[in-house]
Amino acid sequence: MVRLSNCIAALINVVIILIAVVLIGTSMVFYKGHGSATECERFLQKPLLAIGIFLFVLSILGLGGATCRFQWMLWIHLFVMFLLIIVLTAFTVFVIVVTNSGVGRAVSGRGFKEYRLGDYNDWLQKNVINDDNWIQIRSCLIDTRACRHLQVPVSGQTLQQFININLTPVESGCCKPPIYCELDFKNATFWTMPKTGPAVPDEDCVTWNNDPKKLCFDCKSCKAGVLSGIKKEWKIIAIINSCFIGFVIIFYSIGCCALRANRVGRYHKYRP
């Protein structure tokens, strides 16, 4: 039993070390390719590196404690694991709270929803899509060509045909002006301002630009569309986090067994 708990702990730590190496390697690829890397890749580089280093150091401590029976390593390893359980649980609860509001507004006769920034949690607005972050998010949308499906012209397409298309939140918010502006439709990503001006005095109506690199990327509706996508992704993260917390708790328990096994082993070793 003593060896079993140590072997299981060592095996899990080896697997985590391999995962950490992959994360660190991936972040280095993004860093070395900074000249050709997209803004999305550069945005991911630092978090991947931080997570990779954290997992690597944590697993080295666990591996040293399990295989070499260094008690101080196991104590540090288990203490960090305990803090990790608390942080992950708090983060999961937080994600559920901040993503509890905000939905797209369905309009009769349209195949897509439209999104309003004011419908989303204030924390998300102030911290996720603030001016500094939006510069990177906007560049990411352009780099990944978020509107590429709509930029392929459809011969003879009418406004009625267009509004029956099923659009993603980003396509609805960033790749076209809000329909309530009632701009003149030419094609999916080309709209002109009527001589009488927009139908409503909305900032997004005058922000729209037919330049493929501008479109509605600076519109509030675009930020709302991005938040809609983030909300869905964060809910998935909350579910994954819940499963991961269960894994960490099991791993923590195995570590506790290894710590106890080391104590028993040392006791029998020095017992006269």
Model pLDDT for residues 122-160, shown as the tens digit of each residue: 888 888 888 888 988 998 888 888 898 888 777 788 888
Query: Is the pLDDT confidence value at 174 over 80?
Result: yes
Query: Is the pLDDT confidence value at 44 over 90?
Result: no
| Cα–Cα dist 50/229, whole Å | 24
Q: How far from 32 is each of 41, 50, 77, CA to CA, in Å?
A: 11, 16, 32
Name the residue among 134, 120, 179, 177 with its Cα closest to residue 43.
134
Say which residue, 42 or 180, is predicted with more confidence: 180
Domains of the chain by residue range: 2-100+235-270, 110-225
The pLDDT value given to residue 203: 92
- Token reading at 19: 């995962």
| Cα–Cα dist 25/45, whole Å | 10
Burial of 146 (0-12, 13-18, 19+ CB in 10 A): buried
- Token reading at 257: 């067994």
Confidence of residue 104 (pLDDT cuts 50, 70, 90): low
Tokens 């997004």 appear where? 204
The pLDDT value given to residue 30: 64
The pLDDT value given to residue 33: 52
Percent of the chain with pLDDT over 70: 85
Name the residue among 154, 163, 164 with its Cα closest to residue 183.
163
Under DSSP, the state recorded for 198 is -
For residue 50, the number of C-alpha atoms closer than 13 Å in the C-beta half-sphere is 5
**Segment 84-93 mean pLDDT:** 91
